[in-house]
A and B are shown apart, each in its own frame.
Chain A
Amino acid sequence: MAESEEEVDVLVQRVVKDITNAFKRNPNIDEIGVIPCPEARYNRSPIVLVENKLGVESWCVKFLLPYVHNKLLLYRQRKHWLERDALVDITCTVLLLNPDFTTAWNVRKELLQCGVLNPEKDLYLGKLALTKFPKSPETWIHRRWVLQQILHQFSAVDVKQPHQGEAEQADAERGQELSEHLARTLHQEMKVCSEAACRYPSNYNAWSHRIWVLQHLAKGNVKVFHDELSSMRLWVSMHVSDHSGFHYRQFLLKELITELWQAPAGTTTASSQHQSSTGSSSSPLHQSHSQANGESPGAEAAAEEERQLSFSTLIQLFYAEMELCSDLIQSFPGHETLWSHRRNVFYLWQNLRREPHQCSSNGGVESVHLSDSDPVLPEVEAQSAAGQKEAVNGQRNEPMEVDGASLPHPRDSKRLKRGVPLPAPPALPSEYSFVNSILDRCTNPDQRRFALAYKKWLDTVIGQQP
Chain B
Amino acid sequence: MKLYSLSILHKGPTKANLLKAAYDLSSFSFFQRSSVQEFMTFTSALIVERTTQGSRASVKEQEYLCHVYVRNDNLGAVVIADTEYPQRVCFTLLDKVLEEFSRQVDSIDWPSGNPDTINYKALDIHLSKYQNPREADAMTKVQAELDETKIILHNTMESLLERGEKLDDLVAKSEHLGNQSKAFYKTARKQNSCCEIM
Contacts and interface: CB of A to CB of B under 8 A. Distances in A.
Interface of A: 31, 33-38, 50-51, 53, 55, 58, 131-132, 198-199, 237-241, 327, 330-333, 335, 442-444, 447
Contacts of B2: 238
Interface stretch (B95-103, B108-116, B117-125, B140-148): B140-148
29 contacts: A31-B29, A31-B30, A33-B29, A35-B31, A36-B32, A36-B183, A36-B184, A37-B180, A38-B183, A50-B30, A51-B30, A53-B30, A55-B30, A58-B187, A199-B27, A238-B2, A238-B131, A239-B1, A241-B83, A327-B141, A331-B140, A331-B144, A332-B1, A332-B84, A332-B144, A333-B145, A335-B84, A442-B145, A447-B145
Given A33-B32, A50-B30, A333 B184 contact: no
A238 B144 CA distance: 15
A198 B180 contact: no
B187 to A, nearest CB: 7
Interface in B10-40: 27, 29-32, 35
B107 interface: no
Given A36-B32, A132-B29, A332-B1, 19 more contacts: A31-B29, A31-B30, A33-B30, A33-B31, A33-B32, A34-B31, A35-B31, A36-B180, A37-B183, A38-B187, A131-B29, A239-B1, A241-B84, A327-B141, A331-B133, A331-B134, A331-B140, A333-B144, A447-B145
A53 B84 CA distance: 29
B31 A55 contact: yes
B1 A240 contact: yes
Interface in B173-198: 180, 183-184, 187
A332 B183 CA distance: 38
Nearest to A242: B84
Contacts of A50: 30
A335 B85 CA distance: 11
A130 to B, nearest CB: 12
Contacts of A55: 30-31
Given A38-B183, A327-B141, A332 B86 contact: yes
Contacts of B159: none
B187 A36 contact: yes
Contacts of A37: 180, 183
B145 A443 contact: yes
A15 to B, nearest CB: 16
B132 interface: yes
A322 to B, nearest CB: 16
Nearest to B133: A331
Contacts of B132: 238
A442 B144 CA distance: 9
A239 B83 CA distance: 11
Contacts of A33: 29-32
Given A31-B30, A238-B1, A330 B187 contact: no
Contacts of A239: 1, 84
Contacts of B1: 238-240, 332
Nearest to A335: B84
Contacts of B133: 331
A331 B142 CA distance: 7
Nearest to B147: A443
Rank and list the top 5 A-B pairs by shortest CB-CB distance, nearest first.
A33-B31, A36-B184, A53-B30, A33-B29, A331-B141
A51 B30 CA distance: 10
B189 to A, nearest CB: 13
A335 B84 CA distance: 8
A239 B2 CA distance: 9
A35 B33 CA distance: 10
Contacts of B131: 238
Contacts of A58: 187
Nearest to A333: B144
Contact of A330 (B31, B141, B183): B141
B4 to A, nearest CB: 14
B30 A36 contact: no
B145 to A, nearest CB: 5
A36 B35 contact: yes
